[in-house]
């Protein structure tokens, strides 16, 4: 019985020291903040805008037009992926402003493609 208590002391003392030291190593400055709904909405709208632009870039007629202009469609898609949220939202807004239900003329298509390329090159 006495031997068991000595073993417990031998184990408990270093364990207590380790637990005390572990408290000193944990960061005490961890902070949490509320995430506002405007921030969540902005993040979701940026993701939706990015999806719309990527969907547009995967259309066959857009890809063929980009090839004709000498732009690699896969490279343009990669550049859109590296665009900031504000740039993607601006581009998606311009795409949304295009006339709906009508055939997109090549002039408008070229303007949108050039805008994608210019924004990507600025990065």
Q: Domain tally for the chain?
A: 1
pTM, entire model: 0.49
Residue 86 lies in a domain: yes
Residue 95 lies in a domain: yes
Residue 44 lies in a domain: yes
Residue 116 lies in a domain: yes
Residue 64 lies in a domain: yes
pLDDT at residue 5 greater than cutoff 70: yes
Residue 123 lies in a domain: yes
Residue 85 lies in a domain: yes
Residue 111 lies in a domain: yes
Q: Per-residue confidence at 32, pLDDT binned at 50, 70, 90?
A: low
| Domain assignment of residue 87, given as a range | 38-123
- Per residue in 45-96, pLDDT (tens digit) is 888 888 888 888 888 888 888 888 888 888 888 888 888 888 888 888 877 7
As a whole number, mean pLDDT of residues 22-42 equals: 70
pLDDT of residue 47: 84
Q: Which two tokens stand for residue 54?
A: 């990527």
């Amino acid at each position: 019985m006495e031997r068991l208590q000595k073993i417990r002391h031998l184990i408990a003392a270093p364990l207590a020291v380790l637990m005390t030291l572990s408290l000193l190593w944990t960061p005490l400055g961890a902070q949490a903040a509320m995430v506002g709904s405007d921030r969540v909405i902005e993040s979701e709208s940026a993701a939706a805008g990015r999806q719309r632009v990527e969907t547009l870039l995967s259309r066959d007629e857009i890809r063929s037009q980009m090839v004709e202009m000498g732009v690699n469609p896969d490279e343009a898609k990669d550049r859109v992926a590296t665009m900031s949220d504000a740039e993607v939202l601006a581009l998606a807004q311009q795409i949304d402003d295009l006339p709906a239900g009508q055939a997109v003329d090549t002039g408008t298509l070229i303007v949108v493609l050039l805008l994608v390329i210019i924004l990507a090159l600025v990065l």
